[in-house]
Amino acid sequence: MAALQYAETVQRITDTARIAATLAPLGVTLQAIPVTGAGVAALLTELQPDPEAQAALLTALDDVFRRLQRERGYQERDLVVLYPGHPQLAELTARFHRVHTHDDEEVRYIVDGEGVFGFVLEDGAQVELTVHAGDYVHIPAGVEHWFRLTDAQRIKAVRYFSARGGWTPHYTDRAMRSFPNP
């Protein structure tokens, strides 16, 4: 279940209607999509799936991809797998743990583990949205945001693309506020 936290407070919001209302002015949507499919559970047990296992996982999740292709026109997808000990973990997490925007939408379907998306609201307030397996997040182009892993440092997320080039981060140099652990 997703949870939303405002900067510099320990209050966490888990009510999906309140989370949706907070993120709606940005155009950010959060949807629950159960992680199901033939053989999915077995494929998710691997901490470091090889390319063949990753392809099998994406194939097992084809129903979601086909639906999103019809609804949103996505053409491609890939799987991001991060875990403790990943050879590029520090580099990858540092790259996206700064406030940035993209020229294209950013879309993630979390299929295992957890992560945190941060957002700058229209009034300048900052919030962080913790997402877990089964959470689908759509962030429109131009929205100031960031991403980080939780202390578990483990996530498997399917990314959906309408255009690959739009995912280059454009850093805004806005300072991120403090988010204490509740």
Q: Where along the chain do its domains lie?
A: 3-170
pLDDT for 164 equals 64
- Separation of alpha carbons 152 and 91, rounded Å: 17
Q: Which fold has domain 3-170?
A: Jelly Rolls (2.60.120)
97 a known binding residue? Answer: no
Count H helices, E strands: the chain? 5, 11
pLDDT for 1 equals 80
170 a known binding residue? Answer: no
pLDDT for 44 equals 94
145 a known binding residue? Answer: yes
- Separation of alpha carbons 41 and 173, rounded Å: 40
Residue 164 has a CB neighbour count (10 Å cut-off) of: 12
List pLDDT tens digits, range 8-49: 888 899 999 999 999 999 999 999 999 998 889 999 999 999
100 a known binding residue? Answer: yes
pLDDT for 4 equals 96
Cβ contact 105:138 at 8 Å: yes
